[in-house]
Amino acid sequence: MKVLNNIQLQNYNSFNTKAIAMLFCEPETQEELSELLKTYSKEKKLVLGGGNNLFFTKDFDGLVIKPGMQEIKIVSEDDSSVIIEAGAGVEWDMMVEDCVSKGYAGLENLSLIPSSVGASPIQNIGAYGSEAKDTIILVKTVDLQTGEYIEFTNSECEFGYRNSIFKRTNRYIITSVVFKLSKSFTYKEKYIDLSRELTDIESPTIKQVRDAIVKIRTRKLPDTKTLPNAGSFFKNPILTEDEKNSLQKTVLDAPIYNIGDNKFKTSAAFLIEKAGFKGKRTGMVGTYEHHALVIVNYGTNNGKDISDFASEIQQEVLKQFDIKLEPEVWIY
């Protein structure tokens, strides 16, 4: 296990912003990770997956740890289900594609999300009516502060909408994730875009569902290689009843979804578009022409340009609708 000095992080984040990491290491086993934490106990630490949900605004004068655990194994199986453990460094969609090809169901709606397996529980990745929490049964971690191994069952992960105990505490390095998948598949209509894409197929197979999602996502989202971005930049706001009523007075057509417990979700993309930001560009940063929630980088390598543009959006949405948009993306 090598610890490298002064590593440029531009190719390690999908926004392509420049920053130097004072120290950088890719431990490949839990033991290597524990040893690393013991040796560098005093340094500041930052954990990096595929860099698809973060960008840098300045150099990092500490240790960047990129978990490199690559093993995928079947832990157990019976006639109806299979339990799979995958290392944190495994590329998410490679695992999803592999599971779909074997007929293991549960991850197909999360096809093509750019992620490492290790980052999937952090914000409980979700798409097309499914979330990582629906199949995760165990998350294996090392405590950043004590170096101790700690396992979290599904309920201990405290999963929520783009949230988990890992995101809230920023204290655990995930080394592997255990999923329970089903050996049978029945298509359930959960999401309108997807049903539209599958409209000519009476009873879609798991492979047809994956293919449809890959098609929709490729059409809808900019490719990070040609137009650097980090997907949805902000979370959809969760409103109290009073906030919802007040929004509906200002914006009659605001989309509102009742999510129970007297809480309501509205669409960040809708508010950003209403605030006049769809396809808007300031210098080298703008919102994507087909999706106002995605901020894209047209050619800056300075993360501050991106965070400034995001603040501009937040201020305007706050001014017009009295709603504070919260970033989904991590800004370092």
**Residue 223 CB, nearest approach to ligand FAD (Å):** 8
Selecting among 162, 164, 197, 210, the annotated active-site residue is 162
At which residue do the structure tokens 């400034």 appear? 308
Q: C-beta of 179: minimal distance to ligand FAD in Å? A: 15
Residue number with CB closer to ligand FAD (119 or 285): 119
Residue 197 among the catalytic residues: no
Contact positions toward ligand FAD, by CB under 6 A?
14, 47-54, 67, 88, 113-116, 118-120, 122-123, 125-127, 166, 173-174, 221, 224, 229-231, 330
Q: Which one, 224 or 236, has the nearer CB to ligand FAD?
A: 224
Distances (CA, A) of 39 to 43, 129, 277: 9, 43, 47
What residue is closest to ligand FAD based on CB? 49
The residue (of 230 and 247) whose beta carbon lies closer to ligand FAD is 230
Is position 328 annotated as part of the catalytic site? yes
- Catalytic, 232? Answer yes
213 versus 317: smaller Cβ distance to ligand FAD? 213
CB of 202 to ligand FAD, least distance (A): 27
Residue from 97, 232, 307, 316 carrying the catalytic annotation: 232
Query: Rounded distance, CA 324 to CA 97, Å?
Result: 37
Closest to ligand FAD by CB, 247 vs 295, is 295
Residues belonging to the active site: 162, 232, 328
